[in-house]
Structure 1
Amino acid sequence: MMAKVFLLNKQIFLEKLLQLEQFTESEQKHKIEELSNVLEEIGKEEFKSVFTTELFNEIHTMIEEKILSMENTILLLKHISYYSNLKRIWIEGFEGTSLCKRFEEMIIEEDEKKEEKNEKLLADLCECYISLSDDYQPKLLCICVSCILKATLKKEGNEEAQKEVEMALLSLSNLDVLCFVEQKQHLNEIKEIFKYHQEHHNLTRLAYQSAWEFLIYRLFFENSLEEDFVNELHFGREAARELDELSKCVEWKNKKEGKGSKETKEELVLLRWLQTCESCFLRCNLWNEEFVGLINSIVQVFRSAKGNYKEISYQTIFLLKETSIRTGVEIKDLMKSGVADAVLEGIQQQTLEDEMINQFLEFFMNLSKKLKREMDEAMDEAKRKIIRRRVFDKLEEEGYEDTITSLYEVLNFLKRKRYRKLSLDIYDYLVND
């Protein structure tokens, strides 16, 4: 049934696109907004099957034949790029098309104008190009990032203005770790966007998350940004608050498998925040107390998603495992934030997939290593005993040792299957008093 629905949505979209020829330019704007509603319903695989090289070349033909104005073309492409970025769908059909080449030429031409430069047109062109391309010319990338950041600075006002900023920042989040952007040139603008929002709350949740994602990808090129990221812009504090507030918007009980598979915007933004946290944990080495609060927020999302929302549940499990690897995280942080409790709850579920069991076991293997390392580094013998006893008592109280022992039979199976990081020695997972 679901496949039929998506097939129908794909057919409706293509029919409505071809029917634009029948309407005036003004009427087309209304019809394009209707197309946006169809885009919201289309699934990921269907999205890819619709937006092919042939389709983008067809849109360019419609421009050439004056069926579509450039203004309406941009409106259409902004809707397409918005939903592809929101749903994290990689569109491969735009690159190299006649439409893509036309946009590249227009961006350079508009940027080089010394007089009567149309800043709005340039920003729109850049937004579409950044969102739909996957191989950027360095010159174009520099123009587009600078132009989009400038267009989003200190923008307030009505819902329409907020939507424009949201779409612009969402396009920047498309620039992943493979896209080098000269950081020093844009750092002041990025900082200003964050600080202005933290004071005036002028961005939507998606816009704010997108700005963070753009910045965190830049950490892969510029380590010196970590101090700004952690202590000046307060990623840990801000991410924790966003996760807490978004979690309240999700109807967890209605997300069980087989019940309404359509994802709401809040759920998609929540997933994006979790993936941004993953990027942070993988790249940012600095640590402060605000991250303990962030981990606690991830724990709360895990507990809500457990048994209700598979994709979010797995993403949180992976994040909790990553906390046990980070060198800056101490045993006291893991206990204080409730990670150990949450992982124990998870591993004791009746039905678990192999990948989930692997993440849980890796967490406790890393916890055991971390505890041993802290014991070796602790000079105070009394402190050693207090830390070890506290962890042992907690895990013993929750029946952890019995749970791990019961999984011994599956360790060899998991390791043979593909999880080579796992140890076959059961004592590597245990904490002895």
Structure 2
Amino acid sequence: MALLALSKCYYLGNLDQKVFLNEIKEIIHFHQEHHNLTRLAYQSAWELLIYTLIGEKFYEQVIVIELHFVRETRRELEELSKCVDWKRKKVEREKETKEVIVLMRWLNSLEFFFRFCSFWNEEFVGLFGNVVQLFRASSGNHREIRGECIDFFREAAGNKIMKVEGLLKGGAIDAVLEEISQQSLNEDNKICCFSFFLELSERLQEEKEDEKEEAKRKVFDKMEEEGLDDCIIMFHHFLLEEELPFSYPDENLECYFMPL
């Protein structure tokens, strides 16, 4: 109960991370060794770290590398998924089971984490895959979880640190394509799916520009090695006059969401 209450401390804002970081780290490490916490308590400990420490690379690396965030999250999602009766219809559920509640809390925390995370880790690909599995398992009778999975993919695609190749390998792109092909898709989910692909197109353009800049740098380095200073100056003037091949026609997103 204490961890559940503490997990909402981010509402207070501007907490001193040093006050609780070491203690929460010890709690998480102890649970990883002895499994002494309930699933809700364990998720609450992670939520406290994520909502209060995310956005600072040092603390993010503590979360991901030192505390093994991806490994632990994947394990929790897999175990929780096994405890959910995916075939049980909503009308048959008087209230959600505690496993469903914790799953939703994990997905909300992941959305926040991937919205603000400031570095890429290859382990993220496997985590995308776990969320895709949840997405497909919930397709029949748990539309709320399915919707949260799509929100998670949209947040990840909108983060400039995330790699398009990682989203592709993890199955996120296929999952959103599956969702957008549903005839019963409501307007909010349509907008979420379209937003995902708009963010994806921006990531592709940025990666293309990064590759272009890397190619330019290699040309400059080669010229400098060979002492071709005059060529460097001419090449530099050429690049400054080059027209960019891509531009957005309108920043107003309404033009992208016309009825199909």
Classify the TM-score, shorter chain: 0.7 to 0.9
The answer to whether residue 253 in structure 2 is matched with residue 421 in structure 1 is yes
The answer to whether residue 20 in structure 2 is matched with residue 216 in structure 1 is no
Contact 2:115 2:158 in 1 (8 A): no
Q: Which of 96, 106, 111 is the equivalent residue of 1:278? A: 111
The answer to whether residue 91 in structure 2 is matched with residue 249 in structure 1 is no
Q: Which of 165, 173, 182 is the equivalent residue of 1:340? A: 173
Which residue matches 1:160?
A: none
> How far is 1:369 from its partner?
2.0
Q: Which of 175, 189, 200 is the equivalent residue of 2:9? A: 175
AA paired with 1:300?
Answer: Q
Contact 2:117 2:161 in 1 (8 A): no
TM alignment of 1:288-367, pairs within 5 A: 288-367=121-200
Which residue matches 2:223?
A: none
Structure 2, unaligned runs of 5 or more: 216-251
Judging changes above 3 Å, is the alpha-carbon distance between structure 1 residues 178 and 332 closer, same or farther for their aligned structure 2 residues?
same
Judging changes above 3 Å, is the alpha-carbon distance between structure 1 residues 425 and 302 closer, same or farther for their aligned structure 2 residues?
closer
Which residue matches 1:197?
A: 31
The answer to whether residue 198 in structure 2 is matched with residue 371 in structure 1 is no
> How far is 1:360 from its partner?
0.7
Judging changes above 3 Å, is the alpha-carbon distance between structure 1 residues 303 and 197 closer, same or farther for their aligned structure 2 residues?
same
> How far is 1:284 from its partner?
2.3
CA–CA separation in structure 2 for the residues paired with 1:308 and 1:335: 26
Contact 1:183 1:222 in 2 (8 A): no
Judging changes above 3 Å, is the alpha-carbon distance between structure 1 residues 219 and 333 closer, same or farther for their aligned structure 2 residues?
same
Deviations 1:221-255 (A, max 9, x none): 8653122112111212211211111111111111x
> How far is 1:220 from its partner?
5.4
Contact 1:173 1:211 in 2 (8 A): yes
> How far is 1:373 from its partner?
2.1
The answer to whether residue 66 in structure 2 is matched with residue 232 in structure 1 is yes
Contact 1:324 1:363 in 2 (8 A): yes
Structure 1, unaligned runs of 5 or more: 1-166, 382-419, 427-433
Contact 2:125 2:170 in 1 (8 A): yes
Contact 1:237 1:291 in 2 (8 A): no
> How far is 1:178 from its partner?
3.2
AA paired with 1:228?
Answer: V
> How far is 1:377 from its partner?
2.0
> How far is 1:310 from its partner?
2.2
Q: Tell me the secondary structure at the aligned position of residue 324 of structure 1.
A: helix
CA–CA separation in structure 2 for the residues paired with 1:298 and 1:250: 15
> How far is 1:174 from its partner?
2.4
CA–CA separation in structure 2 for the residues paired with 1:334 and 1:181: 33
> Identity over aligned residues, as a percent?
48
Judging changes above 3 Å, is the alpha-carbon distance between structure 1 residues 424 and 182 closer, same or farther for their aligned structure 2 residues?
closer
CA–CA separation in structure 2 for the residues paired with 1:240 and 1:421: 34
Contact 1:318 1:359 in 2 (8 A): yes
AA paired with 1:176?
Answer: Y
The higher radius of gyration belongs to 1
The answer to whether residue 97 in structure 2 is matched with residue 259 in structure 1 is no
> How far is 1:370 from its partner?
1.5
Which residue matches 2:244?
A: none
**TM-score in terms of structure 1 length:** 0.48
Deviations 1:32-89 (A, max 9, x none): xxxxxxxxxxxxxxxxxxxxxxxxxxxxxxxxxxxxxxxxxxxxxxxxxxxxxxxxxx
Judging changes above 3 Å, is the alpha-carbon distance between structure 1 residues 309 and 425 closer, same or farther for their aligned structure 2 residues?
closer
